[in-house]
Amino acid sequence: MRKLLLSLLFLSALATVYSQTAPNDYMREYEASQARTEWMTDARFGMFIHFGAYAVPARGEWVKTTERMSNEEYQKYIDEFNPVDCDMKEWARLAKKAGMKYAVMTSKHHDGFCLFDSKFTDYSTQETIGRDLVKEFIEAFRAEGLKVGLYYSLIDWHHPDYPKYNDLHHPMRGKEEFQNEQINWDNYLKYLHGQVNEITSNYGTLDVLWMDFSYGEMTGEKWQAQKLVQMVRKNQPNIIINNRLQASGEGVIGLRNFFLGDFDTPEQGVPEKEMFDEFGNPLRWETCLTLNNNWGYALNDDNWKSPELVIHTLIDIVSKNGNLLLNVGPDGRGNIPPQSVKILKEVGKWMDLNHESIYGCGNAGLETPQWGRITQKDNTLYLHWMYPKIGYINMNGYADKALSVTLLSTGAEAYTASSWWGNKAENNFLINLNTPIYHTFPLPDPYSTVIELRLK
């Protein structure tokens, strides 16, 4: 018996030592990452911009590979790409008007064509049209007070030293003439590292580096990720980096390396609830989302999301501690499609009146109500009444805790009661925006009527 007790004691001591030592450096990294990314909570809403020569064929940013084009075939689009209407100041004003706090633009997408001046290649807008579009972007968006980030594609469908024949996505995959081609991977790595060095040191402060993406064995150290990030963090001590040096848009990573990436990037969807790592620590995450069904400009894609869906998605995301990076794909002349502009302006109108329920807000730790979502900041709950219902909403148990209950957009006092008709349940806290006998329909805001519930 004594032996058993002793060995149990020994085992539990071992377990404590083990569980403490393993997560210790992990926790240090985790906390450093949490500190770097704190502004994501304040910002919550950003603009993604997919801009490049693929806007000319206007069939999305993967066109080169979906249509299996060679470099020569794709060249006509490089030659034609001249966005004469492109005024990034206008884009920046639009983002700001929509209520966005940051923006991330493609500096190079998978097609390999660079929107910046690079000493490593002539394959850039600097060479073709004499414009450093990355510089224009950064200056314009910073001038509007927005944080700025750059997307950089790890994948490169133009560089001669990127794998082709056996690659999963390359336009030349499976083409016989590439079967025995010799490539020099180190050469590509030099190029990749060299360019990431350029974009993180030539334009002043950069807030986000958005790498895209890892797949199969093309992940982590294949990119020399450790070394790459070391350089990036040296150039930009406060930069935040997404998770795609380790994952793809669908990618779930287990034990993470927070040095290599600060936040997760669920693509085209919203997780069921907040996200946590294996030890139960909350994770930062950002859903990236298109406004129609393409990232890059696509002439015939008319599957536009409604402003209501966008607003509901943003609220849903914030209620789960995430961010929304909402995409626009400017056309070949550099205009953001009018449909996108219209949606963003409508979203902006809602944000004008209700942004306090978004910026700096997060999960309220309450069950998701049938009538919408709840977000929280400090001592205030924001009740997003998104789905019309007859009668009151019930914040059962909050009567004693409430300091004030108002309509966020106007500051008008809401109507509250403890019973209605037969509903006399204990701790009822019935909230309505009208007199006791009239229910609230239509709701004052068609997208989401926000009630501010300040707690004592």
Residues of this chain that bind ligand GLC (CB under 6 A)? 50, 61-62, 212-213, 249, 267, 288, 295
Query: What is the smallest separation between the CB atom of 110 and ligand GLC, expressed in angstroms?
Result: 6
Any bridge partners for residue 215, and if so which?
Answer: 218
Of 103 and 386, which has the nearer Cβ to ligand GLC? 103
Of 321 and 327, which has the nearer Cβ to ligand GLC? 327
Of 157 and 371, which has the nearer Cβ to ligand GLC? 157
Query: What is the smallest separation between the CB atom of 142 and ligand GLC, expressed in angstroms?
Result: 23
Query: What is the smallest separation between the CB atom of 25 and ligand GLC, expressed in angstroms?
Result: 30
Rounded CA-CA distance 209/346 in Å is 29
Of 23 and 249, which has the nearer Cβ to ligand GLC? 249
Query: What is the smallest separation between the CB atom of 105 and ligand GLC, expressed in angstroms?
Result: 11
Give first-to-last CA distance, the chain, whole Å. Answer: 55
Query: What is the smallest separation between the CB atom of 94 and ligand GLC, expressed in angstroms?
Result: 20
CB atoms within 10 A of CB 36: 20
Of 212 and 316, which has the nearer Cβ to ligand GLC? 212
Of 58 and 450, which has the nearer Cβ to ligand GLC? 58
Of 299 and 402, which has the nearer Cβ to ligand GLC? 299
Backbone angles phi, psi at 242, to 5 degrees: -75, 180
Give 69's contacts (C-beta < 8 A, 6+ positions apart): 63, 171
Of 267 and 308, which has the nearer Cβ to ligand GLC? 267
Query: What is the smallest separation between the CB atom of 127 and ligand GLC, expressed in angstroms?
Result: 23
CB of 96 closer than 8 Å to CB of 201 = no
Of 45 and 371, which has the nearer Cβ to ligand GLC? 45
Rounded CA-CA distance 38/20 in Å is 25
Give 177's contacts (C-beta < 8 A, 6+ positions apart): none
Query: What is the smallest separation between the CB atom of 416 and ligand GLC, expressed in angstroms?
Result: 44
Cis amide leading into 442 (omega within 30): yes
Rounded CA-CA distance 362/38 in Å is 12
Query: What is the smallest separation between the CB atom of 331 and ligand GLC, expressed in angstroms?
Result: 17
Tokens 């550099």, residue?
A: 334
Rounded CA-CA distance 130/337 in Å is 24
CB atoms within 10 A of CB 410: 10
Query: What is the smallest separation between the CB atom of 114 and ligand GLC, expressed in angstroms?
Result: 15
